[in-house]
A and B are shown apart, each in its own frame.
Chain A
Amino acid sequence: DTAVSQTPKYLVTQMGNDKSIKCEQNLGHDTMYWYKQDSKKFLKIMFSYNNKELIINETVPNRFSPKSPDKAHLNLHINSLELGDSAVYFCASSQDWASMATEAFFGQGTRLTVV
């Protein structure tokens, strides 16, 4: 059983399109995250939700909108895609917001390519 699963694994789309990436965790965790990994492998947090409530919102364009319908799901919707949005997006979860400081579980990533 995959603990943190993301779909799709690969996403190729044209500039200006709107796309969504879905994430689900079956670990019973309260907290979920979205990270962006750029072409140089630098990993940066974008958002964090704890029990469906937004607790971290880094400096991210408002074209990016996370949605958490329940604590097991955290989806990422991106409007008006730009070339610079090309990256690998990782979803992660931890038992609770304090436990992010002890261990996070990552999905396999979604490689987004904007052409």
Chain B
Amino acid sequence: AQSVTQLDSQVPVFEEAPVELRCNYSSSVSVYLFWYVQYPNQGLQLLLKYLSGSTLVKGINGFEAEFNKSQTSFHLRKPSVHISDTAEYFCAVANTGGFKTIFGAGTRLFVKA
């Protein structure tokens, strides 16, 4: 069975500052990893995903994440955030056999002017 831990429930940051949202996972099998974003009163939208290959994955809106197998981490980063990045961010993991994606508890990114 897989599990996902998002280490920060809230991350406040000033506009144009860099940000890192942390995610650790556990699994006994190979996994796929994802970051989804949820803007207020909306559904989840895929930001980026790691399936295989390069461990540095680039997504939409200037976000990127790095898969670190030895540390079982998949942290999300952005070098300069905007007010519009304020949202809930979910890390998720699925085993490579499919069926079910497990979501973390979410990290609320709050960008201040």
Contact B42 A108 (CB under 8 A): yes
Q: Enumerate chain A residues within 8 angstroms of B42, measured Cβ to Cβ.
A: 108-109
CA–CA, A102 and B94, complex, Å: 8
Q: Enumerate chain B residues within 8 angstroms of A99, measured Cβ to Cβ.
A: 98
B100: CB under 8 A from chain A? yes
1/0 contact trace for A73-96 toward B, CB 8 Å? 000000000000000001010000
* Most-contacted residue by chain B among A4, A40, A104, A108 (CB, 10 A): A104
A103 nearest in chain B by CB position: B46
Contact A4 B96 (CB under 8 A): no
The tally of residues in B whose CB lies under 8 Å from a CB in A reads: 26
A56: CB under 8 A from chain B? yes
B105 nearest in chain A by CB position: A42
Contact A106 B45 (CB under 8 A): yes
Q: How large is the interface on A (under 10, 10 to 19, 20 to 34, 35 or more residues)?
A: 20 to 34
Contact A100 B51 (CB under 8 A): no
B88: CB under 8 A from chain A? yes
1/0 contact trace for A38-63 toward B, CB 8 Å? 00111111001000000110000000
B67: CB under 8 A from chain A? no
Q: Enumerate chain A residues within 8 angstroms of B100, measured Cβ to Cβ.
A: 45, 48, 56, 100
Interface residues of B in 37-76 (CB under 8 A from A): 38, 41-46, 49, 51
CA–CA, A41 and B94, complex, Å: 19
Extra pairs beyond A42-B103, A90-B43, A103-B34 (8, CB < 8 Å): A43-B44, A48-B100, A98-B99, A101-B32, A101-B99, A103-B49, A106-B44, A108-B42
Q: Could you list which residues of chain A lie within 8 angstroms of chain B, going by C-beta atoms?
A: 4, 40-45, 48, 55-56, 90, 92, 97-104, 106-109
